[in-house]
C-alpha cells in the first residue's frame, strides 16, 4: 500500500510543467485570497491545502461546495482564486457552483485525476493529479489519489512560500502557539529576572554579602556592578566552590577580587534562543542582561529558558 502511494507521488514530478508555474503566477498576480473546495475525501484534502497555504503566507480558506450553494458563495470575490479538488473531476456539488464562481470573476484552478473531466475543461489551469491505481485492494477507496492531490497542493503552497520570500520569522508569527513560535518570538526581556528578583551586589561587597544575595536570588549567581550600575563581573556557585579553600574569612574577603570580570552579556531585545546558543557555546548556565550602556537590567539561567519552553 505504501509503495503504491509513494509511486503516485513520485509520478507527479514529471507532470510539474508550465501549468504548475502558471498556477503559481496566477495566484501571485491576483490581489485576492485563495478559496479551496472539494467534497468527500477531496474535501478533507481541500481543507488541509487551504490551511497549509494560509500558514505559509498565502491567504486562503476552505469553502464547502454544498454550503456555497446556500450562501457561502458570497465569500468569493472577483479577485480571488478558486481551487477545486476532485479526483473524478465530475463531483456534482462542485460542478454546480463552478459557473457561479466564474461569474463572480474568480479564476479557477482544478486539481483532478482526469484531464478530460468537466472540471478540468472548465478550469483556467488544470493540474493533473491522476494515479495509476488506488492503494485500496478493491481499487475503489480514495487513497493514492488523495495522497497525490495533497502532495500537489503542498507543492503549490511551498512554491508560493518561496516566491514570496516567506521566512521562518513569518512562519512563527502565524504559529505563535507552536514550538517554533516560542523559539522565534520570545525575547530575553520576556524571560529574564528583573527588579527585586535580580541578584546583584556592589563591587565593595564582601564575599559573605555576595553569598547571601546568591541565596536570596536563587539564580546560582549574583551580578557585581560598579557605582554607576554597570556590570563589573559575576560570581557564581562554581566560583564559590573554587574559593572555599582559599578564603579564611568570608566577612573580610572582597567580592571584587573573587568575581569573574567581564562576563558574557546579552541585550534584553535579543531573542531568547540567542541566549541559549550563547550559553551552549561558552558552556555557561547563567547570563547577565545589560542595556546599551552596559548597565545591569536583568539576568537569566537555563531553567528560565526551560520554563519558557524555548528549549
What pLDDT, in 10s, does the model give residues 1-50?
799 999 899 999 988 999 999 999 999 998 899 999 999 999 999 999 99
Average pLDDT of the residues in 108-130: 96
Q: Which regions of the chain carry the CATH code 3.40.50.10490?
A: 2-166
pLDDT score at 180: 57
Burial (CB < 10 A; 0-12, 13-18, 19+), residue 251, is exposed
Residue where the block lists cell 551552549: 280
Q: Write down the CATH number for the domain with range 188-307.
A: 3.10.580.10
pLDDT score at 74: 85
Residue 172 has pLDDT above 80, yes or no: no
Q: How far apart are CA 184 and CA 171, in angstroms?
A: 9
CA 226, 304, 224: angle at the middle one, nearest 5? Answer: 10
Relative to beta strand 231-236, strand 107-112 is unpaired
The C-alpha torsion from 163 through 50 and 72 to 20, rounded to 10°, is 50
Q: How far apart are CA 253 and CA 230, in angstroms?
A: 22
pLDDT score at 112: 97
pLDDT score at 232: 96
Q: Looking at the DSSP assignment, which residues form a beta bridge with residue 296?
A: 290
pLDDT bracket for residue 100 (50, 70, 90): very high
Percentage of the chain modeled with pLDDT above 90: 75
Average pLDDT of the residues in 165-177: 63
CA 138, 144, 147: angle at the middle one, nearest 5? Answer: 150
Q: In what order do the strands lie in the sheet with 81-86?
A: 60-62, 34-37, 81-86, 107-112, 125-128
Give the closest residue to 102 by CA, choosing from 61, 138, 142, 73.
73
Residue 111 has pLDDT above 60, yes or no: yes
Name which of 144-148, 179-183, 238-242 the model is least confident about.
Answer: 179-183
Query: Using one digit for the tens of pLDDT, what is the confidence trace for 59-94?
Result: 999 999 999 877 788 889 999 999 999 999 999 999
CATH classification (class only), 2-166: alpha beta
pLDDT score at 18: 94
214: helix, strand or coil:
helix
Q: How far apart are CA 301 and CA 67, in angstroms?
A: 53
pLDDT score at 135: 86
Query: Using one digit for the tens of pLDDT, what is the confidence trace for 219-260?
Result: 999 999 999 999 999 999 999 998 988 888 888 899 999 999
Pick the residue with more confidence: 284 or 165? Answer: 284
Residue 182 has pLDDT above 80, yes or no: no
DSSP assignment string, 103-155: HTT-EEEEEES-TTSHHHHH-SEEEE---S--SSTTS-SSSHHHHHHHHHHHH
Q: Which regions of the chain carry the CATH code 3.10.580.10?
A: 188-307
pLDDT score at 166: 72
Give the closest residue to 101 by CA, choosing from 113, 93, 111.
93
Q: Is the dihedral of CA 103, 90, 159, 17 positive or negative?
A: negative
pLDDT bracket for residue 311 (50, 70, 90): confident
Contacts of 281 (CB under 8 A, 6+ apart): none
Residue 178 has pLDDT above 80, yes or no: no
Q: Is the dihedral of CA 151, 153, 154, 160 positive or negative?
A: positive
Please give the mean pLDDT across all residues of the chain: 91
Pick the residue with more confidence: 158 or 175? Answer: 158
Residue where the block lists cell 484552478: 109
pLDDT score at 123: 97
Amino acid at each position: 500500500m505504501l509503495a503504491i502511494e509513494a509511486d503516485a507521488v513520485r509520478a507527479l514530478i514529471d507532470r510539474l510543467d508550465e501549468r504548475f508555474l502558471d498556477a503559481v503566477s496566477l495566484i501571485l498576480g491576483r490581489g485576492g485570497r485563495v478559496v479551496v473546495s472539494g467534497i468527500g475525501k477531496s474535501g478533507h484534502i481541500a481543507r488541509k491545502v487551504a490551511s497549509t497555504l494560509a500558514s505559509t503566507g498565502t491567504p486562503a480558506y476552505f469553502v464547502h461546495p454544498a454550503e456555497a450553494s446556500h450562501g457561502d458563495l458570497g465569500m468569493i470575490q472577483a479577485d480571488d482564486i478558486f481551487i477545486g479538488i476532485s479526483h473524478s473531476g465530475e463531483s456534482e456539488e462542485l460542478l454546480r457552483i463552478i459557473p457561479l464562481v466564474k461569474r463572480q470573476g474568480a479564476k479557477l484552478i482544478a486539481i483532478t485525476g482526469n484531464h478530460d473531466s468537466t472540471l478540468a475543461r472548465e478550469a483556467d489551469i488544470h493540474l493533473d493529479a491522476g494515479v495509476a491505481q488506488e492503494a485500496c485492494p478493491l481499487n475503489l477507496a480514495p487513497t493514492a489519489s488523495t495522497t497525490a492531490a495533497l502532495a500537489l497542493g503542498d507543492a503549490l503552497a511551498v512554491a508560493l512560500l518561496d516566491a514570496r520570500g516567506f521566512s521562518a520569522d513569518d512562519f512563527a508569527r502565524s504559529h505563535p502557539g507552536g514550538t517554533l513560535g516560542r523559539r522565534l518570538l520570545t525575547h530575553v526581556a520576556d524571560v529574564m529576572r528583573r527588579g527585586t528578583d535580580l541578584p546583584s551586589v556592589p563591587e565593595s561587597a564582601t564575599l559573605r554579602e555576595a553569598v547571601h544575595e546568591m541565596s536570596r536570588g536563587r539564580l546560582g549567581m549574583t551580578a557585581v556592578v560598579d557605582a554607576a550600575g554597570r556590570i563589573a563581573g559575576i560570581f557564581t556557585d562554581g566560583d564559590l566552590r573554587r574559593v572555599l579553600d582559599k578564603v579564611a574569612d568570608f566577612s573580610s574577603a572582597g567580592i571584587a577580587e573573587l568575581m569573574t570580570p567581564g562576563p558574557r552579556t546579552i541585550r534584553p531585545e535579543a531573542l531568547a534562543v540567542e541566549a541559549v546558543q550563547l550559553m551552549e557555546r561558552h558552556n555557561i548556565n547563567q547570563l547577565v542582561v545589560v542595556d546599551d550602556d552596559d548597565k545591569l537590567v536583568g539576568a537569566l539561567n537555563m531553567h528560565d529558558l526551560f520554563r519558557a519552553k524555548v528549549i
